[in-house]
Amino acid sequence: MPETFFPIRTRARVPVAAATLFLLGLTLGGCSGGDFGRTRQDFVNDDMHRWMGGEATGSIGLRASQFQLTDGERQLRDQAYPLIEPPHSRPAWKSVFGDYAVLPSPWRQKQPPFDRTTYGRQLIDEPHRSHASRYSQMTDDVRDDITRFEPFYANAGRVLDLDRKRKASLAHVSELSPRERADAVARMEENTLIVQWVQQCLERRISSYRWALERLVIQAPDNMAAEVDRLINELAAQTANPPVATQPVIGHAVVSKG
């Protein structure tokens, strides 16, 4: 009897062992590279949001810079992305696996106009265990924006300050080629436009949040609405007085649509 069942047990264990080794390899591979806090993919995708600069300048007919991103410029783009991505627009599984979509700038022609009702309709139409969870979702979304606000603008201030120094130094660089000058100017334009892009998206978010809260109040009134309203007003006050002021890119009317 043992000889009869031994081959069967062996065949049953082989796939399990193979699967175990495969998963172990994935785990160890993700920790390789000398930094257990980041996966190998993170190292490859350090410039995963570089496209934002080219999209911003390209949408108004300007060229993108070929300069490598500085640490501050890379951080500016990484911090900007969750503020330009429509709130509550990404399924949870995409957030886990890092599926980031390339988004059109607000100056891109031939795109659907901004719809302030999209966020609220999605929030209301999605299945929830109770209306209180909808208020909780809004609270989390607005609070996340408030939390991201200060770090983004603090870094933006540093980046734009360095750009002002870069601009001043152009007149003193020896043998500056036309290509180098063009790339320096293009990078400064990119950085400015990204800050303006975030500013416009924050204004749109506030409008969307107000519409959603108004609909929640008439459909499912709750005392939680007062806290959501307070947070929206806090975000609106910060957005109305950004700590970093930017001038429109010369020769182009960079205005909000919607």
Per-residue pLDDT tens over the stretch 105-134: 999 887 788 999 999 999 988 877 788 999
Is 166 within a domain? yes
Same domain, 18 and 135: no
Same domain, 125 and 156: yes
Q: Which of 147, 142, 145 is nearest to 224 (CA)?
A: 142
Output the pLDDT for position 93.
37
Same domain, 146 and 203: yes
Confidence of residue 48 (pLDDT cuts 50, 70, 90): confident
Same domain, 33 and 146: no
Is 161 within a domain? yes
Same domain, 117 and 175: yes
- Cβ-count burial 7-30 (b if 16+ within 10 Å, e if not): eeeeeeeeeeeeeeeeeeeeeeee
CA dist 134 and 139 (Å) reads: 9
Is 112 within a domain? yes
Is 59 within a domain? yes
Average pLDDT of the segment spanning 11-38 = 44
Whole-number average pLDDT of the chain: 81
Q: pLDDT of 52-101, one tens digit each?
A: 999 999 999 999 999 999 999 999 999 999 999 988 765 543 444 445 67
Same domain, 201 and 131: yes
Same domain, 211 and 171: yes
For CA atoms 93, 97, 102, 103, the dihedral sign is positive
Same domain, 74 and 131: yes
> What's the Rg (C-alpha) of the chain?
24
Is 247 within a domain? no
Angle at Cα 158 formed by Cα 161 and Cα 34, nearest 5°? 140
Same domain, 70 and 193: yes
Same domain, 35 and 151: no
Percent of the chain with pLDDT over 90: 61
Is 68 within a domain? yes
Is 245 within a domain? no
Q: Tell me which residue range forms the domain holding 112.
A: 46-240
Same domain, 110 and 196: yes
Regarding pTM above 0.85, the answer is no
Asked whether residue 44 carries a pLDDT value surpassing 70, the answer given is no
Average pLDDT of the segment spanning 136-148 = 96
Asked whether residue 254 carries a pLDDT value surpassing 70, the answer given is no
CA dist 23 and 28 (Å) reads: 9
Domain count across the chain: 2
Confidence of residue 14 (pLDDT cuts 50, 70, 90): very low
Is 250 within a domain? no
Same domain, 28 and 118: no
